[in-house]
């Protein structure tokens, strides 16, 4: 019973819930990027390269000739699907770049620690440490200019 209570406390912490929300949003974002790469970007690249579908770039390992990857899979042929791999790589780099931009923005939002003004300074005569607002050195009795 103590284990269940401990797990409940762990699961209800804010950071775990934030992580779960991040994973869900990340999965949805990944689907959007995959759709963008497969349905928008790669067809444009396919047209530029003279073929209709870049994901149909493959090498048959078991011999034979197939016009599309779907035909090769239907025939049960072993294939090396480098077009699909390139699609996946492009999707990964888009997601990685988007995450980089998001982390960079979040880090910029974090408050920078304020630099505290020093409370002490050195006496110009004897170089002993004195309070910043002091008008006279307590070690050598020299008069020093008051600093704000």
User: 100-118: per-residue pLDDT in tens?
Assistant: 888 888 888 877 777 777 8
Closest CA to 147 of 139, 138, 130: 130
User: 46-95: per-residue pLDDT in tens?
Assistant: 788 776 667 778 999 988 889 888 899 999 999 999 988 988 888 888 88
Q: Is residue 49 a part of any domain in this protein? A: yes
Structure confidence at residue 52 (pLDDT): 64
Start-to-end CA distance of the chain, whole Å, equals: 61
Q: How many domains does the chain have?
A: 1
Contact criterion met (CB below 8 Å) for 118 and 129: no
Residue 43 has pLDDT above 90, yes or no: no
Average pLDDT, the chain: 84
User: 11-37: per-residue pLDDT in tens?
Assistant: 777 677 777 888 888 888 888 988 888
Q: Is residue 122 a part of any domain in this protein? A: no
Structure confidence at residue 14 (pLDDT): 64
Range of the domain at 30: 2-109
58: left (phi over 0), alpha (psi -120 to 50) or beta: beta
Q: Is residue 115 a part of any domain in this protein? A: no
- Looking at residue 33, which CATH number applies to its domain? 1.10.1200.120
Q: Is residue 46 a part of any domain in this protein? A: yes
Contact criterion met (CB below 8 Å) for 33 and 95: yes
Q: Is residue 129 a part of any domain in this protein? A: no
């Amino acid at each position: 019973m103590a284990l269940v209570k401990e797990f409940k406390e762990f699961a209800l912490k804010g950071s775990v819930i934030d992580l779960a929300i991040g994973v869900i949003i990340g999965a949805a974002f990944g689907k959007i990027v995959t759709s963008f790469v497969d349905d928008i970007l790669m067809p444009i690249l396919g047209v530029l390269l003279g073929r209709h579908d870049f994901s149909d770039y493959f090498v048959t390992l078991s011999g034979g000739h197939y016009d599309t990857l779907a035909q090769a899979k239907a025939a049960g042929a072993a294939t090396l699907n480098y077009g699909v791999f390139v699609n996946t790589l492009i999707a990964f780099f888009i997601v990685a770049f988007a995450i980089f931009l998001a982390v960079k923005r979040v880090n910029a939002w974090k408050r920078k620690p304020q630099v505290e003004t020093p409370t002490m300074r050195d006496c110009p005569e004897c170089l002993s440490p004195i309070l910043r607002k002091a008008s006279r050195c307590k070690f050598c009795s020299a008069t020093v200019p008051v600093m704000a």
